[in-house]
Structure 1
């Protein structure tokens, strides 16, 4: 038996799922009743070593039971586990995709830079092979209109690259003397490391990559742990439903 989002909207499964819900609810309430009450003389010590007494808020099993979401809301949440990108398998897929992307784009991979514009050693704009661009050092004030026009004309790919290259070069010549334009062929495009050496001299690309990789790995590990927990929960539910069907 495979549990999917459709399981929780299947009318024939509703009584079985409600039995599972009621069973889990009863177990949670029973476990709460066995908890030791919170002591009345709570004392908190702050980092500055000051101490103050707290007044505990006792929550009874009955109050806890009333706080549990109704069955139909519970069903909606179970469906959300399957279709919401922030949960379960979808979250794991997104985290895996991001990790793969970071791993595949290390410092020694292509920068995808097609053209750079600079003046007196100051980088003003960069056009990438996919037609995206980066504007810097004040050039946005007169180059943004060109990017907007390319969007308006719905230019993509090489047509966009050619348009941006032509129009940006003309606009930059109007505002800067001694403009340097470097066009790269597919065989001469610099790596990210080489580009950083040229234009981002204070940028530690290895440290940045290590940080990005660690963050992507942590996100994946968290998503994987959540997915494993979710899968164990679904396995428990499946076993319960199978036993009901066999009875």
Structure 2
């Protein structure tokens, strides 16, 4: 067994343990492999180990990987900050975009998504604990944004994405509360099914709070070498 296979199996085991401790079905939590700065060859190997969903933060690097790995069946997630001038590539090439925090971004993604493609899955990024250095809309803006974005064609609004400050595990519970509040108001409650939170260091706490998607990089691929970033 190769090291990437072992790493993935270990992470899946940790997810299973966290779900058992929280009394949750392990099938309710998806593993998103955060592959930024890692070469296409590693993604191909991780795909061979059974991983299908990969998350990228840097657009040009991601586009290069999408081209290099186009022979594989991969669900591509963009989890970085969404800049207005980059939405066309996101709308054309990705299956999910997690960093939407403004209506103008959602409108551009909707208008630039080909109607022949499946709707683009969207998560609203929320600055759940008011960090000055973090992107994301304010919690009190979420309800209005959901109402507006839900009306846009070519998008499927799936839920929320949060990145709390390190050690602030209480923010996970706040995000879950907000998620449930909005679900009660949502125009398409069957689509509102994704709470993207938790990373390598805190995924057990996130799962205990109700995360449905954990974004794991270091525990799968090892430490990142940013000097090789595309």
Question: Under a length normalisation based on structure 1, what TM-score does the superposition of the two structures give?
Answer: 0.22
- Computing the radius of gyration over CA atoms, which structure comes out larger, 1 or 2? 1
Question: Under a length normalisation based on structure 2, what TM-score does the superposition of the two structures give?
Answer: 0.23
Structure with the higher strand share, 1 or 2: 2
